[in-house]
Amino acid sequence: MKKVFRFLGPYFYLLPALLIIFVFRFLPMLYAFRVSFYKWGMAGAEKFVGFSNYINIFKDSNFWQTFGNTLYFAIGVVPGSLFISLFFALLLHKSIRGARFFRTIYFLPVITSIIAVSMVWKWLYHPNVGLVNNLFHLFGCRGFNWLSEWRGIFQMFFSSFGLGIPIKGPSLALCSLIIVSIWKGLGYNIVLFLAGLENIPSQYYEAAKVDGATQWQLFRFVTLPLLSPTTFYVLIMTTIIAFQMFAYVWMMTGPPAGGPLGTTNVLVYYLYDHAFNFSRYGYGTAAAFILFVIILTLTLIQRKFIESRVFYG
Amino acid sequence: MAKKRFSKIVIVLILSLMGILMVLPFYWMLITSVKTPLEAVHFPPTWFPQHFRFHNYIEAWNQVPFPRYFLNTIIITIATLIGVLITSTLAAYSFATIRYRGRNFLFLSFLAMMMIPIPVYIVPGYLILTKLHWVDTYLALTVPWLANVFSIFLLRQHFMTIPKDLYDAAIMDGCSRFGFLIKIVLPLSKAALVTVSLFSIIGSWNAFIWPLVVTSKDVLRPIQVGLAYFVQEQSTNYTLLTAATTFTIVPIVLLFFFLEKKIIASFARSGLKG
């Protein structure tokens, strides 16, 4: 008996976590795989349909619009957040008095819920009485319909010069969400970069200075390579988070959410909409798998092509 | 020297500008929440309220069952915190210190689960809950979150730094394996446990997509879902909306101001291990 207990003992420690992870993480994924091959409605499985959920998704022009919007969103948020947060981390790292104060301030949006942030920015973006347009008015500009402008930003830019160039770009509404998302996540990335900067041993800088390196050379040949593991981590995490964007769309756009003209609809909202507003669970699950594959592929691509440039000291 | 001084001033100036950009939305929320509805939409905007109308808060608080939403969130936050601490400590302890068959396989499977984003779960998770008849119960809001791979991973990394000799010595002195965890490992891991707790609390307080999907009854809504629907229903009443938003973020902002150093250190640490 004692022997049995000794053998099973370690598993008892693992059991509570294992049980929950198995039932609420692993099992749903297995189950989902099955569901995605069915026409699955309110009452459960209705009909086995093979791959047609997947095929219908790929045939759906809304899906492709959504996919494009999600790409635009990520392309806007990821480099934007990366460069701005690196810039401010470098400034804060120079041990300016009050650096800690600024870091705290910058971090405030990070701990605030997306719902609260969305609410506040929706108010700031209000077309008639919002603060953003009011500031534009103060400078004699007309302001914009931030959250309900469906025209692409390039289209707007060129048409203001009277040029009809057929490049649209992301709608202004989507760009408004990009701005909010960068604003909210900036503090977290700054903190990550600061931690990375603190981990660079000062000997490297001293040695480079002895060799007569300029400020730019210090940054280019010491800071940047030694910071690259952090940069890589921030890049991957920001990309993954950008592809999971959902609450901003639910809160700030529409009605119907995803508008105007579907230009702010993103993948997660697309699958949520199909599953929970139209009870098309099979279709929604298939979309979820596609999202998963997209995120996984992106992570792997980044690992393959960018990680080779990362310098792990 | 003058050049250095000048560059410092420029840096502080840039940092302050960004600081204003970060704080201004919060400031605008606060002053709108105490303005009269008429002043809130006045042009040009007033940077300081002319008449304070604190009644907005009472009105918002009573318009929808915010007390109930708060209670729900507090229940969920506490239950999840206790659950995560227990399950993660035990699992991390077994992964870090005990050798057994299948340990590495199980650990890698756990890590693989971490790769799957939450939005991918919502539909299958919801379907599993309907099978269990758990939709619209507190169980649906808490039980799936009682274990958390990230916390297990974080604690395991920490537990592995505790020397094996310490374990051997304690066992020699007649300490049981569980006793070692309680008496030696936990007191040595306070910082890591604080990190796990803070992530759990902030995560539960701000959770949105999961409770949105698994609750349809008003009385079960946690604070974020309650606020989201309140915004949807009161779409133009910005004085009430900003008041409601303010009181939903007060608890977490207070927590942040009291534990600012620990919270930022925790977030910074979350990146280092990758």
- Listed by number, the residues of chain A in 79-98 with a beta carbon closer than 8 Å to a beta carbon of chain B are 88, 91-92, 94, 96, 98
CB count within 10 Å of CB A261 equals 13
pLDDT band at A302 (very low <50, low <70, confident <90, very high): confident
pLDDT band at A140 (very low <50, low <70, confident <90, very high): confident
Please state the rounded mean pLDDT for residues B64-81. 95
Q: Is A210 on the interface with B (CB under 8 A)?
A: no
Q: Residue A65's pLDDT is what?
A: 95
Which of A88, A111, A131 is closest, CB to CB, to B28?
A131
Specify the DSSP element, H or E, that contains B245.
Answer: helix B238-258
pLDDT band at A1 (very low <50, low <70, confident <90, very high): low
Q: Report if residue A177 sits inside a domain.
A: yes
Q: Please tell me which residue of chain B has the smallest CA distance to A248.
A: B228
Which of A191, A250, A292 is closest, CB to CB, to B264?
A191
Q: Report if residue A87 sits inside a domain.
A: yes
Q: Residue B192's pLDDT is what?
A: 92
pLDDT, tens digit, for every residue of A208-264?
Answer: 989 888 888 988 999 999 998 899 889 988 999 999 999 999 999 978 888 788 899
Q: Residue B270's pLDDT is what?
A: 77
Q: Which carries the bigger pLDDT value, residue A74 or residue B168?
A: A74
Q: Report if residue A16 sits inside a domain.
A: no
Q: Indicate the burial class of A87 (C-beta count within 10 angstroms; 0-12, 13-18, 19 or more).
A: middle
- Is the pLDDT at B184 greater than 80? The verdict is yes
Q: Is A131 on the interface with B (CB under 8 A)?
A: yes
> Tokens 């795989």 — which residue?
A33
Give DSSP secondary structure letters for B60-99: HHHHTTHHHHHHHHHHHHHHHHHHHHHHHHHHHHHHHH--
Q: Report if residue B69 sits inside a domain.
A: yes
Q: Please tell me which residue of chain A has the smallest CA distance to B207.
A: A113
Query: Which residue range is the domain that position A136 belongs to?
Result: 55-309
CB contact under 8 A, B146 and A194: no
Q: Which amino acid is at A274?
A: H
Q: Report if residue B214 sits inside a domain.
A: yes
CB contact under 8 A, B123 and A284: yes
Q: Residue A46's pLDDT is what?
A: 79
Q: Residue A257's pLDDT is what?
A: 87
Mutate to test the interface with A, among B10, B84, B120 (most CBs of A within 10 A): B120
CB contact under 8 A, A272 and B127: no
Q: CATH number of the domain that B204 lies in? A: 1.10.3720.10
Mean pLDDT for chain B? 90
Distance from CA of A156 to the nearest CA of B (A): 25
DSSP state of B5: H
Give DSSP secondary structure letters for chain A: -HHHHHHHHHHHHHHHHHHHHIIIIIHHHHHHHHHTTEEEETTEEEEE-TTHHHHHHHH-HHHHHHHHHHHHHHHHHHHHHHHHHHHHHHHHHT--TTHHHHHHHHHHHHHS-HHHHHHHHHHHT-TTT-HHHHHHHHTT-----TTT--SBHHHHHHHTTT---S---SBHHHHHHHHHHHHHHHHHHHHHHHHHHHTS-HHHHHHHHHTT--HHHHIIIIIHHHHHHHHHHHHHHHHHHHHT--HHHHHHS-SSTT-STTTT--HHHHHHIIIIIS--HHHHHHHHHHHHHHHHHHHHHHHHHTGGG----
Q: Residue A108's pLDDT is what?
A: 95
CB contact under 8 A, B127 and A28: yes
Among A155-159, A290-294, B209-213, which stretch is predicted with the lowest mean pLDDT? A155-159
**Residues of chain A neighbouring B127 (CB-CB closer than 8 A):** 28, 31-32, 35, 40, 281
pLDDT band at A95 (very low <50, low <70, confident <90, very high): low
pLDDT band at B203 (very low <50, low <70, confident <90, very high): very high
Q: Residue B101's pLDDT is what?
A: 83
pLDDT band at B211 (very low <50, low <70, confident <90, very high): very high
CB contact under 8 A, B227 and A92: no
Nearest-angstrom CA–CA distance, A51 and A69 = 25
Cβ atoms of A132 and A124 within 8 Å: the answer is yes
Q: Please tell me which residue of chain A has the smallest CA distance to B109.
A: A26
Q: Which amino acid is at B251?
A: P
Q: Which carries the bigger pLDDT value, residue A134 or residue A42?
A: A134
Please state the rounded mean pLDDT for residues A275-283. 92
Q: Report if residue B65 sits inside a domain.
A: yes
Please state the rounded mean pLDDT for residues B62-91. 95
Categorise residue A280: left if φ over 0, alpha if ψ from -120 to 50, beta otherwise. Answer: beta
Q: Report if residue A80 sits inside a domain.
A: yes
Among A56-60, B6-10, B89-93, which stretch is predicted with the lowest mean pLDDT? B6-10
Q: Report if residue B240 sits inside a domain.
A: yes
CA dihedral of residues B21, A236, A188, B270 (deg, nearest 10) = 180
CB contact under 8 A, A25 and B11: no
Give the total number of structural domains in chain A.
Answer: 1
Cβ atoms of A282 and A33 within 8 Å: the answer is no
Give the total number of structural domains in chain B.
Answer: 1
Nearest-angstrom CA–CA distance, A149 and A175 = 10
Nearest-angstrom CA–CA distance, A247 and A113 = 10
Which of A106, A120, A285 is closest, CB to CB, to B124?
A285
Mean pLDDT for chain A? 89
Distance from CA of A166 to the nearest CA of B (A): 34
CB count within 10 Å of CB A51 equals 11
**Residues of chain B neighbouring A121 (CB-CB closer than 8 A):** 25
Please, what's the largest Cα pairwise distance for chain B?
78
Nearest of B114, B255, B274 to residue A192 by alpha carbon: B274
Angle at CA of residue A250, ends A254 and B212, nearest 5°: 140
Q: Which residues of B38-74 are buried (b: 16+ CB within 10 A; e: fewer)?
A: ebbbeeebeeebeeebeebbeebbeebebebbbebbe
Angle at CA of residue B123, ends A58 and B140, nearest 5°: 170
pLDDT band at A2 (very low <50, low <70, confident <90, very high): low
Q: Residue A139's pLDDT is what?
A: 85
> Tokens 């318009």 — which residue?
B63
- Listed by number, the residues of chain A in 15-34 with a beta carbon closer than 8 Å to a beta carbon of chain B are 15-21, 23-29, 31-32
Query: Which residue range is the domain that position B183 belongs to?
Result: 58-272
Compute CA distances B139 → A28, A29, B104, B250, whole Å: 16, 20, 31, 27
Q: Report if residue B103 sits inside a domain.
A: yes
Alpha helices for B98-219 (secondary structure H)? 103-114, 118-131, 138-142, 149-159, 164-172, 177-180, 186-188, 190-206, 209-214
pLDDT, tens digit, for every residue of A167-219?
Answer: 788 999 999 999 999 999 999 999 999 999 988 888 888 899 898 888 889 88
Distance from CA of A152 to the nearest CA of B (A): 25
- Is the pLDDT at B272 greater than 60? The verdict is no
Q: Which amino acid is at A186?
A: L
Nearest-angstrom CA–CA distance, A62 and A4 = 58
pLDDT band at B49 (very low <50, low <70, confident <90, very high): confident
Nearest-angstrom CA–CA distance, A284 and A66 = 14
Tokens of A198: 């603190």
Q: Please tell me which residue of chain B has the smallest CA distance to A242.
A: B117
CB contact under 8 A, A113 and B249: yes
- Is the pLDDT at B3 greater than 80? The verdict is no
Q: CATH number of the domain that A291 lies in? A: 1.10.3720.10
Q: Residue A6's pLDDT is what?
A: 66
Distance from CA of B120 to the nearest CA of A (A): 5
Compute CA distances B223 → B102, B119, B226, B245, whole Å: 41, 20, 5, 10
Helix (H, G, I), strand (E, B) or coil at B233: helix
Q: Please tell me which residue of chain B has the smallest CA distance to A233.
A: B274
- Is the pLDDT at A309 greater than 80? The verdict is no
Compute CA distances A90 → A76, A93, A142, A192, A193, whole Å: 22, 5, 36, 12, 8
Q: Is the ipTM of this complex over 0.90?
A: yes
Specify the DSSP element, H or E, that contains B253.
Answer: helix B238-258
Q: Is A111 on the interface with B (CB under 8 A)?
A: yes
Distance from CA of B210 to the nearest CA of A (A): 11
**Residues of chain B neighbouring A194 (CB-CB closer than 8 A):** 268
